[in-house]
Structure 1
Amino acid sequence: MDGVEVTRRPVSDTLREVLVRHLRRVPADVDWTTVTLPDLGLDSMVAIELVLDLEDTFGAQFPEDALVRETFETFQSLEAVVKWMVDGS
């Protein structure tokens, strides 16, 4: 890259963008700290598409043991898994 430093966007910002692409009911003023993802339109079919998109976006495999309802309940629970997925910790 000839000395150009690439800055990595925070996982949370990228995750929000991916979620908005998949969820049907995301108001512009959504409070990600209080809303549940099912309230925004996440169902089992959307979750499958979301996992595939997350794997493509972050270039890492979604942990099989995290494929449970609790992971997809809130932004924070999903973010924790994605951060682990990306950072490996």
Structure 2
Amino acid sequence: MTTIDAQAAALTGRVAEALARVLKKDPAEITPESRLFDDLGLDSTSVLELLVELETELDGELDADSLEQEHFETVASLSRYLASAATR
């Protein structure tokens, strides 16, 4: 397991909790494989809310310009993006 993979695994729970707060869902229903748009109902407005929530949760700023659609496919893909962004 690479350092980024380990960091992503550690972040997955925090991402799920942030998603649960934004989407008003039970965090237990959110898994690493949950698809953000298809399974959880994320939309363009809630993406912005999620980014603000994650910045607060992670005590840092996210570079919105570096985010791509692929980063928002699943909870795991978003966690991997956050882990790789933290190492930059």
Query: Same fold by TM-score, threshold 0.5 exceeded?
Result: yes
Counterpart check, 1:36 vs 2:35:
yes
Q: Which runs of 5 or more residues in structure 1 are unaligned?
A: 1-9
Confirm or deny that 1:72 pairs with 2:72: yes
Alignment root-mean-square deviation, CA = 2.2
Unaligned runs of 5+ residues in structure 2 are 1-9
1:25 and 1:41 in contact (8 A); partners too = no
Contact 1:24 1:41 in 2 (8 A): no
Tell me the secondary structure at the aligned position of residue 35 of structure 2.
coil
Deviation of 1:29 after TM superposition, in Å, equals 4.3
Equivalent pair of 2:12/2:76 in contact (CA under 8 Å): no
Identity %: 32
Larger Cα-atom Rg: 1
Greater RCO between the two (CA within 8 Å, min separation 6)?
2
Q: Which runs of 4+ in 1 moved over 3 A?
A: 24-31
Counterpart mapping for 1:74-89 below 5 A: 74-85=74-85, 87-89=86-88
**Amino acid in structure 2 at the alignment position of 1:22:** V
- Residue in structure 2 matched with residue 7 of structure 1 by the alignment: none
Q: CA–CA distance in 2 between the matches of 1:73 and 1:67?
A: 12
Partner Cα separation in structure 1 for residue 21 and residue 37 of structure 2: 15
Give TM-score, length-normalised by structure 2. Answer: 0.70
1-side partners of 2:37 and 2:68: how far apart? 13
Give TM-score scaled by structure 1 length.
0.69
Give the structure 1 partner of residue 50 of structure 2: 50
